[in-house]
């Protein structure tokens, strides 16, 4: 039990110690410097991108329909597989068309014989006219017969060409290379020319990605084109980046190849299209895609890690290390994400040292800091390294000797 005579001195000593720790009565709070990780803002060349929603489309898409009537005889492809240009896909019963081609061949032989006879008769009549054995009227008749026989031969040849063409149509081949769909008609069914849909075929490489841009963006692009800041996508193959629904980053590269000639008055948008290489078949027509179109020419910008950005109601801000080693708040205007870092449009200057790890330890401007430099692109991993090096020394038995 503490003696009453000692209580008052002890209380006074404790009070004095607390006042000293707090900087004295009425003085500013004195806190030890906080360990934080800082990184110098990154300055590099970046591109401004405008993001849109789009769809993947095939460059070429074909609906295969028969050109002659007949019963389907065979299907010669694997449904859903790839086919080469000119590959045989369907065959139609061709017996009727072979017979028609043979009949046309016979007509040619008959017309040829008739023409040869007419030629001989005409030559004989010309000799007889010169000998005054027949009249010129008879010669005119022979000339008419020869011309008619020549015309009959031409008609027979045309019928043969038509018959051979119809015969070739009984073999349905691939007009393009690509991926084929399901066979919608099975062998044994009657098909009609131009009506029966046999299957569909789409090209694979390259592909198109189509998207709609709003009127404001279109007017902005037009203004940049007039000022020379950025070429129009109608005349310039401006770069695009594409990400599929399961991709976090825009890892596919392409270029613009078309902008529509008018704005849709109902939606207030205009259709744009880019072309993408697809050698591995990653893109399938109909897939949703996120599209980024270059909004302006490359520019110099400052970038920081998203981890450093804090929110105060509707404002974004960061903590930086001031000249005295204390914390200083700077309000910023963040922009787009580039290579894992965030563009800062306003608020920071070249050389600013931004707190990227330990921001929750800072409570007021001017608070003393103990900064430790780390890379901007990976602050957490770099900050953990010193702690791992210090841990063995703290637990080593030799340190207690």
20 in a structural domain: no
Give the per-residue pLDDT at 7. 54
Q: What is the mean pLDDT of residues 190-204?
A: 94
CB neighbour class for 254 (10 Å; exposed up to 12, middle 13-18, buried from 19): buried
DSSP sequence for 73-134: EEE-S-TTSEE-TT-EEEEE--HHHHHHHHHHHHHHHHHHHHHHHHHHHHHHHHHHHHTTSS
**285 lies in a domain?**
yes
Domain end position, chosen among 266, 297, 328: 297
Say if 3 falls within a structural domain.
Answer: no
**Rounded to an integer, what distance in angstroms lies between the CA atom of residue 264 and that of residue 270?**
6
Which token pair is 255? 């270029």
**332, 246: one domain:** no
3-state DSSP assignment of residue 290: strand
| Shared domain check, 304 and 264 | no
CATH number of the domain within which 135 lies: 1.10.287.470
pLDDT in tens, 305-330: 888 899 988 899 999 998 888 889 99
> Do 211 and 251 touch, CB atoms closer than 8 A?
no
Instruction: Give SS3 for 258.
Output: strand
Q: Do residue 287 and residue 322 come from a single domain?
A: no
Distances (CA, A) of 239 to 24, 48, 230: 64, 11, 11
Claim to verify: residue 105 and residue 225 sit in the same structural domain: no
pLDDT value of position 4: 52
Residue 87 lies in a domain: yes
Within a domain: 392: no
What tens digit of pLDDT does each residue of 382-400 get?
A: 444 444 434 444 444 443 3
Predicted confidence at residue 121, as pLDDT, reads: 79
What's the average model confidence in pLDDT over 197-204? 95
Please state the rounded mean pLDDT for residues 21-40: 67
Which of 17-31, 46-60, 111-125, 311-325 has the lowest average pLDDT? 17-31
Q: Which helix (H) or strand (E) element contains residue 248?
A: none
- pLDDT for position 228: 84
CATH number where 185 lies: 2.40.50.100
Report the domain count for the chain.
4
**Same domain assignment for residues 218 and 309:** no
How far apart (Å, rounded) are the C-alpha atoms in residues 82 and 243? 25
Mean pLDDT of 90-109: 93
Are residues 148 and 250 part of one domain?
Answer: no
- Alpha carbons 386 and 401: distance in angstroms, whole number: 24
Residue 287 sits in the same domain as residue 368: no
Answer whether residue 1 shows pLDDT above 60.
Answer: no
Which of residues 246, 279, 297 is at a domain's end?
Answer: 297
Same-domain pairing of 214 and 288: yes
Place of tokens 């769909």: 181
Domain for residue 217, yes or no?
yes
Mean pLDDT, to the nearest integer, of 357-362?
Answer: 85
Give the span between the Cα atoms of 88 and 198, in whole angstroms: 13
Residue 25 lies in a domain: no
Residue 268 within a domain: yes
Q: Are 218 and 318 in a shared domain?
A: no
| CA dist., res. 257 & res. 246, Å (int) | 25
Measured CA to CA, the distance from residue 274 to residue 256 in angstroms comes to 4
Same domain, 141 and 185: no
Which residue among 252, 267, 297 closes a domain? 297
Work out the average pLDDT over 216-223: 90
> Could you check whether the bond before residue 206 is cis, i.e. omega within 30 degrees of 0?
yes
| Pairwise CA distance, residues 283 & 81, whole Å | 15
Give the per-residue pLDDT at 209: 96
- Assess whether pLDDT exceeds 90 at residue 181: yes
Give ∠ CA 28-33-37 in degrees, rounded to 5: 135
342 and 305 Cβ atoms separated by less than 8 Å = yes
DSSP code at position 221 = H
Q: At 243, which CATH number?
A: 2.40.30.170
Domain hosting 77: range is 69-93+170-197
**Both 189 and 76 in a single domain?**
yes
**How distant is the alpha carbon of residue 390 from its chain centre?**
49
For the chain, the helix, strand and coil percentages under 3-state DSSP, each to the nearest 5: 30, 35, 35
The Cα–Cα gap between 244 and 253 comes to 12
Strand partners, 90: 75, 172
Pair (113, 156) in one structural domain: yes
**pLDDT value at residue 278:** 92
12 vs 112: which has the higher pLDDT: 112
């Amino acid at each position: 039990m503490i003696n009453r005579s000692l209580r008052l001195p002890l209380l006074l000593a404790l009070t004095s110690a607390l006042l000293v720790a707090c900087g004295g009565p009425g003085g500013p709070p004195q806190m030890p410097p906080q360990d934080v990780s800082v990184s110098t803002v990154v300055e590099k060349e970046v591109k401004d991108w405008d993001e849109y929603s789009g769809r993947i489309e095939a460059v070429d898409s074909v609906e295969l329909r028969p050109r002659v009537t007949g019963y389907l005889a065979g299907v010669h492809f694997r449904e859903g597989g790839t086919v080469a240009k000119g590959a045989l896909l369907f065959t139609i019963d061709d017996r009727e068309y072979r017979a028609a081609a043979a009949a046309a061949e016979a007509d040619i032989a008959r017309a040829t014989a008739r023409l040869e006879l007419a030629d001989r008769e005409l030559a004989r009549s010309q000799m007889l006219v010169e000998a005054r054995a027949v009249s010129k009227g008879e010669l005119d008749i022979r000339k008419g017969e020869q011309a008619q026989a020549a015309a009959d031969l031409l008609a027979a040849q045309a019928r043969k060409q038509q018959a051979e063409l119809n015969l070739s149509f009984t073999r349905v081949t691939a007009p393009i290379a690509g991926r084929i769909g399901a066979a919608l008609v099975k062998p044994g069914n009657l098909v009609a020319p131009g009506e029966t849909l046999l299957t569909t075929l789409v090209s694979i490489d390259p592909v198109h990605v189509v998207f709609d841009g709003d009127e404001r963006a279109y007017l902005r692009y037009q203004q940049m084109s007039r000022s020379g800041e950025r070429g129009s996508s109608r005349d310039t193959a401006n770069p695009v980046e594409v990400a599929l629904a399961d991709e976090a980053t825009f890892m596919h590269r392409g270029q613009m190849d078309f902008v529509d000639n008018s704005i849709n008055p109902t939606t207030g948008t205009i259709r744009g299209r880019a072309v993408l290489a697809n050698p591995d078949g990653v893109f399938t027509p109909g897939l949703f895609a996120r599209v980024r179109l270059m909004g302006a020419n490359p520019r110099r910008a400052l970038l920081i890690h998203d981890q450093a950005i804090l929110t105060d109601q509707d404002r974004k801000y960061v903590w930086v290390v001031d000249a005295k080693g204390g914390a200083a708040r700077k309000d910023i205007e963040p922009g787009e994400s580039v290579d894992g870092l965030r563009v800062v449009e306003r608020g920071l200057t070249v050389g600013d040292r931004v707190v990227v790890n330990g921001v929750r330890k800072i409570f007021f401007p001017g608070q003393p800091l103990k900064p430790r430099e780390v890379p901007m692109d990976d602050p957490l991993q770099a900050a953990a390294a010193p702690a791992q090096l210090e841990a063995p020394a703290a637990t080593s038995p030799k340190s207690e000797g």
